[in-house]
Amino acid sequence: MFKLINNFFNHSKNDLFKKNTLDIQKNFPVKRIFDAIKSFSDESDIYYVGGCVRKIFCHELVDDIDLATNINPDEVILSLKKNNISFFETGKNHGTITAIIDDKKFEITSLRKDISTDGRHAKVLFSKDWREDAERRDFTFNSIYSNIYGEVFDPFNGRKDLENGCVTFIGDPSKRIKEDYLRILRYIRFFLNYSKKDHEPKIKKIIKQNLDGLLKISKERLIDELKKIIFSKGFINLKKDDFSKEILELVFPSLNNTSFLTDKNKLLIEDIQLNKNFILLLSAMMIKDLNSINYILYKFNFSNQDKQRLLYIHDNYQMSLEKSFFDRELKKRIYFGERESLLDLITLQLLIFHKNEKTLNDLIKITKKTDLPKFPYNADFLIKNFDYKPGKKMGKKLKELETLWVDNDFKISKEEIKKIVLS
């Protein structure tokens, strides 16, 4: 099949791109999938596409693999079965089969064209035409295909746009956005990451005209795209991009603070991103008005763990600014399982304020390293020393002892024990 379409493929002159493409196989067992699809028939073929190709060109870490093939989903399934590769069919109706090798997932999508769209989902027809598949994609640099050797098919000059810092829709921008309104936020993400130019007035107008379309997008997809923006290398550019900031605030009204996105905070932000601490960076964007946390929890869906972390920040951030807070509360709160939440509060102060850095960094080290004693009294102690019987009363007395022990800096006298137990 490659010979049949070889005329359309521009062999990359960039040896580094070819090397990095080949290096994918060091971290991902992807060759098994290439071999499985290509063995299906004389004409079957498969290529890297989308984000992974874009990231190789930009020398970014490739953390997931998207693949395109000219055989249909049922044929992909047959190929994977024949080669003993596990898979699941979650996206089969839209042409995507997810292969699994060594706990790594690979989305394999059949070439397709859109028959109809409603701004969220598309009805598709499977195709054999690589260019037709490229035409339905969002941006020129997401429609670059590469074979396993780093030879490239780039029908819309996406690589040139990357080099020039142009975020360019394929075809009519209005039509592309109406096919999937989430492309508004994708445009913002890619602009923050790759653009070397100002927003085109025409694109700004089209985006504002279509903002209401985001109401059709599920809350889960909106939050997922927000995460991608916040975890991207271009996130720090948001402060100086008034249009991107405006659009994000219109979609997520709670996110009205970008003052912490400074060069001074760059390394700290990168560290938070590396640790995937979405809640911390999200909180920093709402710190001007902590009631925004309640609003975003009402408006969007979060896991129970993320809700608890956001509410903890809402309830404790202002209090944590008091000089005596950590002297008074640190050990006690660590004992009651709040170590990570305390680290959130301290790191937020580092992000928001440009003072007391040494004190706050020392406090982070102390919070991480502080080990606390185990409560030394239990039911056996009360039974043996005070002839207590198991029951609610015993549980209540143990709780009173523990509370006093913690409040007294993890110490309690025999007299205090007797006073509580015998009362």
Phi-psi region of 391 (alpha: psi -120 to 50; beta: other; left: phi over 0): left
The span from the first CA to the last CA of the chain, in angstroms, equals: 87
Residues in the chain: 423
220: β partners: none
Q: What is the gyration radius of the CA atoms in the chain, in angstroms?
A: 28
Q: Which of 209, 226, 252 is the last residue of a domain?
A: 252
Statement to judge: residues 199 and 301 lie in one domain: no
Give me the amino acid identity at 357: E
Statement to judge: residues 94 and 205 lie in one domain: no
Statement to judge: residues 23 and 70 lie in one domain: yes
Token match 């029908």: residue?
A: 155
Identify the top-confidence range among 1-15, 120-134, 254-268. 254-268
Identify whether the C-beta of residue 286 lies closer than 8 Å to the C-beta of residue 295. no
- How confident is the model over 32-77, as pLDDT tens digits? 999 999 999 999 999 999 999 999 999 999 989 999 999 999 999 9
Statement to judge: residues 135 and 84 lie in one domain: yes
Q: How far apart are CA 143 and CA 322, in angstroms?
A: 53
Q: Which of 147, 171, 195 is the last residue of a domain?
A: 171
Residue 135: give its domain's CATH number: 3.30.460.10
3-state secondary structure of 329: helix
CA angle 137, 140, 144 (to 5 degrees): 80
Give me the amino acid identity at 336: F
- Looking at the 3D structure of the chain, how many domains does it have? 4
Is a pLDDT exceeding 90 seen at residue 2?
Answer: no
Statement to judge: residues 120 and 248 lie in one domain: no
Higher pLDDT, 373 or 247: 247
pTM: 0.89
CA dist list (Å): 403 to 222, 229, 414, 416, 423:
43, 44, 15, 12, 16
Is a pLDDT exceeding 80 seen at residue 6?
Answer: no
**Token duo for residue 204:** 């700004």
Nearest to 357 by CA among 346, 367, 368: 346
Q: Which of 31-35, 214-218, 390-394 has the lowest mean pLDDT?
A: 390-394
Q: Which of 5-9, 210-214, 375-379, 401-405 has the lowest mean pLDDT?
A: 5-9
3-state secondary structure of 96: strand
Q: Which of 232, 252, 272 is the last residue of a domain?
A: 252
Q: How far apart are CA 37 and CA 99, in angstroms?
A: 12
pLDDT at 124: 78
Q: Nearest 10 degrees: CA dihedral of 283, 288, 293, 296?
A: -90
C-alpha 106 chain-centroid distance: 18
- How confident is the model over 271-322, as pLDDT tens digits? 999 999 999 999 999 999 999 999 999 999 899 999 999 999 999 999 999 9
Is residue 121 very low, low, confident or very high in pLDDT (cuts 50, 70, 90)? low
Residue 182: give its domain's CATH number: 1.10.110
Statement to judge: residues 46 and 158 lie in one domain: yes
3-state secondary structure of 88: strand
Nearest to 112 by CA among 155, 72, 140: 72
Give me the amino acid identity at 265: N
Statement to judge: residues 355 and 241 lie in one domain: no
Statement to judge: residues 402 and 266 lie in one domain: no
Is residue 1 very low, low, confident or very high in pLDDT (cuts 50, 70, 90)? very low
Statement to judge: residues 191 and 234 lie in one domain: yes
Is residue 242 very low, low, confident or very high in pLDDT (cuts 50, 70, 90)? very high
Is a pLDDT exceeding 70 seen at residue 119?
Answer: no
Nearest to 223 by CA among 251, 243, 184: 251
Q: Which domain holds residue 399?
A: 379-421
Statement to judge: residues 192 and 209 lie in one domain: yes
Is residue 5 very low, low, confident or very high in pLDDT (cuts 50, 70, 90)? very low
Statement to judge: residues 281 and 206 lie in one domain: no
Angle between helices 304-320 and 325-335 (to 10 degrees): 150
Give me the amino acid identity at 285: M
Is residue 423 very low, low, confident or very high in pLDDT (cuts 50, 70, 90)? confident
Q: How far apart are CA 80 and CA 309, in angstroms?
A: 42
Statement to judge: residues 104 and 114 lie in one domain: yes
- DSSP category for residue 97: E
Q: Strands 104-110, 65-69: parallel, antiparallel or unpaired by DSSP?
A: parallel
